[in-house]
A and B are shown apart, each in its own frame.
Chain A
Amino acid sequence: MAQPFVATLTVNCRRTTLTTPGDRTLLDVLREDLHLTGTKYGCGEGACGACSVLINGKRTFSCSTPISEASGKQIRTIEGLATGDTLHPVQQAFLDEGAFQCGYCTAGIIIGTVALLERKPNPTEDELKEWMNGHLCRCCAYPKIVQAIQHAAELSACANLGRTSDSQTTPQSR
């Protein structure tokens, strides 16, 4: 067993300190210690994306991330996306499009989409497929997921316009 490690995690803006073996995965700690079970196990080796979380804004497979590496960083999980009763635009888009069947991959795919749209607010279909190729949906709801990601891009653009509507920038029609 690895040496106990004192990890300081900021998960969904809440700081937690815990002592645990340093090679335990972030996924296990989120699920078993913090009871944040929205993040899923799918393969344990970064091949399916079900365990995706944002670490300092970057999409990361938590099943392959030792807790010692996650310590001191900002972690965002599916539970931290909505603001009160208001869904994150990406969540809203997936809900609107019904872009899931069993839904087990959905949390990871939503996290992957949030990361994508931060980098590329208007991805082409090829760009989004390439970015999302690390995520598996075994129900193969891919066509509706693609639609949901495109819809999310629109909703995110609207949300951003809303945020800057008091400033001098004038929305340009595209």
Chain B
Amino acid sequence: MLSPGNPPRLEFDTDDDAQIIDRVAYDFGLSRRTFVQVLGAGLLIAAAAPTLAQQRSPRGNQRQQAKPIPLDARMHIAKDGLITVMTGKIECGQGARAEIAQAAAEELGVSRNVIQVLMGDTDLTPDDGITAGSRTTPTTIPSIRQSCAAARSLLINFASQKWNVPSDRVQFVDGIAKHNDQNFTYANLASESADALKAGAPTDVTVTPTEKWDVLGTPAGRPNARDIVTGKHQYPWDVVRDGMLYGKILRSPTYRGKLKTVDVAAAKAIDGVTPVRDGDFVGVVAPNSYAANLAIEVLEKSAHWDPTPLPSSKKLYEHLRNQAKEIPENPFAETVRGAPKKLRATYHVPYIQHAPLEPRSAVAQWKDGRVTIWTGTQNPFGVRREVAVAFHIPEDRVRVIVPDFGGGFGGKHTGEAAVEAARLAQAAGKPVSLQWTREEEFTWATFRPAAVIDVEASLDDKNNLSSWHFVNINSGPSAIESPYRGKNHSKFVGSDAVLRHGSYRALAATANVFARESFMDELAQVAKRDPLEFRLSHLDDLRLKAVLEAAAKRFTWTERRGKKTENVGVGLACGTDKGGFVAACAEVAIDPAKNTIKVRHIAQAFEAGAIANPANLLSQVQGAIIQGLGPVLRESIELAENKVGNPSFWKYSVPRFADLPTLDVQLLNRLDLPSAGAGESPLIAVAPAIANAVFHATGKRLRELPLRIPEAT
């Protein structure tokens, strides 16, 4: 698996080691003193691979002349044996915390129970980059495993030298080095001096190979699960500081409206309320959120705004096409002209929103010119920069702490709530909690970009693909390349971002796979070939073939496709993105009186290398499929009268218990392949599988999400 890595750097954190504590002043964003306060004295082991912060060139960010961070502490072993693993990644339900604990336990040879995982704190954890792109598993986990494997080697080497026996005669059992009746533990190691340990520092590091996994590869629950079921876990919304006030922001009644006038002083009529104005930024702080809401209602009465024109939902796709940068011509036009069969179609995907159940929030507290912010973000170091830039202060004056928060789905990459809370707290001179309402989240957060997708393809005289031309306007290039054999040209072109664009679980892969897999079905129809056979005959990728065959087999595709029942249809689709391979078969039932679609059954096969945590992987795949039903059946941001017209769970209808189909998830475990992240790719085959099933049931090809069966004319 992983090749031998660099030897670890060792640093000590001892109350009595003046030299190291003196060096705190040279640290940027990392204080050993803080470590001592938080974790107690002990041994710090640096990240085995350079982290993003170390890689970032000082010249790369002119505005914030980042000094090199001398130490990216990856793990800390306290003198009592408690082991803390540190990462700048965050937990918002995707399961990183459990997997990190597993990875550390595996390499250290200890139980998961003696490991705590410290995540997303810009003062304490290394910058592992944004938690996105399914990168924790393929990038951060290997780094953690290397550091932990280094600690294990150090323990064994040191014990061998201490006992003067060759290291291969030192036994290693349950995290303890043993020889005859002598024992040496991680706690013992943490009590040795730095000089003594240097001799034992390993020269290379090898992580546990997959076939010897003991902890990885087994189901692991979330380490703080008990605090979730008791309500004890503090989400960002739940953070309370002494003397804390509640803030609220004055928002434009239309999207991106420009403030003309407002009588800010009027808010003072409410007891205890302080209005805050800084240019176009207007907010209030109050003793509780009730008073803050009242104060904002008062301000709304006196506020006047200039609206900014926003295309309506009806005009959206036309607008995106008109505003698109150069749309490329089909380079295979000649092939198409000469082909016996050819087809072109356009697909549409609307703006949708993540709608995490916990809306954005932040608690900000200033002290001595330094601000600490508790917020739910997938990008703690990015938010630190955002706040620093907003306040024209160096990054080391900002600490961002990310408690495990209530859902991200790619939608919490930015720090608007953090900046707003910090501005209010600065004005109030007290800690302020800013909690966005659902309506604010639906309007002022980011959106998955809408898409207009043009596809054109031709078939040769054997009904095989002879050319493929695919253009995505506005939504992105993820998974845009076709896995199917044949001349192919796929291109993304940007357009006018009508709303704030943001990442969304699987990014544009969902739109691109929806269009591609729907169009493959259309081509199979034209070719008079079975959709499964048509795909398989054009696929070279063995991993993609394997999931497609597995899903079809479990679903009994051939039998069910052949047996046509009125108003019932089956469809399938497959795709690959970010190292995950997925195929889905779906069965739908149509209510012809109401023109509604009921998804009855989904069989999905998924493979993303060696499975690190089967319980969590199952949760991610099940969750992605069901979450994926929303944008297929109902979700769409409505734009009308220059604003978001449906900023409420009553109007924007996400999947509920009643939508739950029979789910049949197969996880293929490829122990011979490195683990890839799996939070995103299981989403991408759902929409086209359902659209294809609707076509099978009704004979109507629906090329726009959400799928709406047109009224019979």
A interface with B by C-beta (< 8 Å)? 1, 20-21, 24-25, 28, 31-33, 35-45, 47-48, 50, 77-79, 81-82, 87, 91-92, 94-95, 98, 100-107, 110, 128-130, 132-133, 135-146
Contact = CB atoms under 8 A, between A and B. Distances in A.
Contacts of B490: none
Contact-residue size bin, chain B (C-beta under 8 Å from the other chain): 35 or more
Contacts of A78: 230-231
Contacts of B625: 140
B407 A102 contact: yes
B430 to A, nearest CB: 15
Nearest to B630: A140
A146 B656 CA distance: 12
Chain A to chain B: the 4 pairs with minimum beta-carbon distance, closest first: A38-B231, A104-B406, A102-B93, A101-B93
B435 interface: yes
Contacts of A87: 226, 229-230
A140 B655 contact: yes
Contact of A129 (B95, B407, B660): B660
B357 A32 contact: no
Interface of B: 92-95, 221-222, 225-226, 228-235, 237-238, 240, 246, 270-271, 288-291, 294, 354-359, 404-407, 409, 435, 437-438, 615-616, 619-620, 622-627, 648-650, 654-658, 660, 663
13 contacts: A1-B270, A1-B271, A37-B234, A91-B229, A98-B222, A102-B404, A102-B405, A102-B407, A103-B406, A104-B357, A107-B231, A143-B622, A144-B619
B355 A138 contact: yes
Contacts of A135: 656-657
Contacts of A107: 231
A23 to B, nearest CB: 8
A48 to B, nearest CB: 5
B649 A136 contact: yes
A101 B95 contact: yes
A141 B619 contact: yes
Nearest to A37: B238
Given A102-B407, A136-B649, A37 B619 contact: no
B627 A130 contact: no
Contacts of B234: 37
A43 B438 contact: yes
A132 B230 contact: no
B230 A28 contact: no
A40 B233 CA distance: 11
B650 to A, nearest CB: 5
Contacts of A130: 657-658
Nearest to B361: A41
Nearest to A21: B290
B235 A40 contact: yes
Contacts of A81: 230
Nearest to B652: A47
A138 B356 contact: yes
A169 B160 CA distance: 65
A140 B623 contact: yes
A99 B447 CA distance: 28
Nearest to B655: A140
